[in-house]
Amino acid sequence: MARCMDKERYFSVNAIVLKYSDYSESSRILTLFSDEFGLIKASARAARRKDSKTLPLIQPFAFCRYDLCRGKNDIHTVTGGELIENFYDLTRDIGRFSAAGTITGELLANLVQDEPEPEVLRLYLNTLFALCYTKKAPELISAVFSLRLRHELGFLPEAEEVLRRNGSKSKNENKNAETDAGILKNVLSHIFNSELKQLYGFELSEDLAGTVLELAGRLKTEDR
C-alpha cells in the first residue's frame, strides 16, 4: 500500500461503496458515500488480490471505516480499514439485490461530489438493512426510499401538497376515495417525517402499497 509522508494527509471516514471500476490487474477505484464528505473517490491498490487484507473493503455495498491518504486529482488512497457491514444477504436474492442497485443508481443521480448528506447516508443504510433483514417487498422498499430521498433533498413538499399536485386518485382507488386520500396522506407523512429507524415499520394493504408504488413511479418519470 502507498504511504503518505505527511501525517496531516491521513484521515479516516465511515463510508459505503456505491460503485467501482477496476484498473491494472489487482486495483480498484471506489466511489464512496461518506458521512463527513459525501461522495469521494478512493484508489485501492492491489486490493483485489486473494491475500489482500483490504479485499472485504472494496466489495459492492461494503460499509466500512476507511483509512485514507489524501491524493491528487481528488482521488484518495485506501491504506486500511475495518468492515462494519457487508450486506451479504443481498446477493442471495436477485430481487433484493436488484432493488439495492436501483436505489443506488437513484442516489448517485442526486448526490453532489464532496457535499455531505449524513441523513441521506443513514436513509440509504437503513434501506439496505430493510432489504436484507425484513420480509417487505423490495419494490415497496425501493418506492419508500425514493419518496423519502426526494423529501430529504428538498424536491418534495409535505404530504398534503404532494397529494394536491399529483391527485389523490389512482388505479387503486375505491368508492371511498376521500377516506383513501386521508389514509394515503398519513402514509406519506410517515414516509417523509418518521424517524429513520421506524421508516419501514409499517404494514400496508395491497391496494395502498400499489398506490405508493404508482406515486413513486410517477415522480421518477417527472424527473426525467
Instruction: List, in order of start, the domains of the chain with CATH numbers.
Output: 7-86 (2.40.50.140), 89-223 (1.20.1440)
Q: Which of 71-80, 90-99, 176-185 has the lowest mean pLDDT?
A: 176-185
Q: CA angle 200-201-203, nearest 5°?
A: 95
Mean pLDDT of 159-172: 69
Cell of 11: 484521515
Q: Does residue 2 sit in helix, strand or coil?
A: coil
7 pLDDT higher than 60: no
190 pLDDT higher than 50: yes
Percent of the chain with pLDDT over 90: 72
Q: What is the pTM of this model?
A: 0.88
Q: How far apart are CA 18 and CA 31, in angstroms?
A: 6
Mean pLDDT of 46-66: 94
175 pLDDT higher than 60: no
pLDDT on residue 222: 75
What's the full length of the chain, in residues? 224
189 pLDDT higher than 90: yes
Contact 12, 79 (CB under 8 A): no
Q: CA-based diameter of the chain, in Å?
A: 71
Q: How far apart are CA 189 and CA 73, in angstroms?
A: 42
- Range among 47-51, 82-86, 213-217 with highest mean pLDDT value: 82-86
Exposure letters 135-159 (e unless 16+ CB within 10 A, then b): ebebbbbbbbbbbbbbbbeeebeeb
pLDDT band at 167 (very low <50, low <70, confident <90, very high): low
Q: How far apart are CA 124 and CA 29, in angstroms?
A: 21
Mean pLDDT of 182-208: 93
Mean pLDDT of 45-51: 92
136 pLDDT higher than 70: yes
pLDDT band at 171 (very low <50, low <70, confident <90, very high): very low
Beta pairing, strands 63-69 & 27-34:
unpaired
pLDDT on residue 179: 54
pLDDT on residue 2: 41
156 pLDDT higher than 50: yes
58 pLDDT higher than 90: yes
pLDDT on residue 162: 86
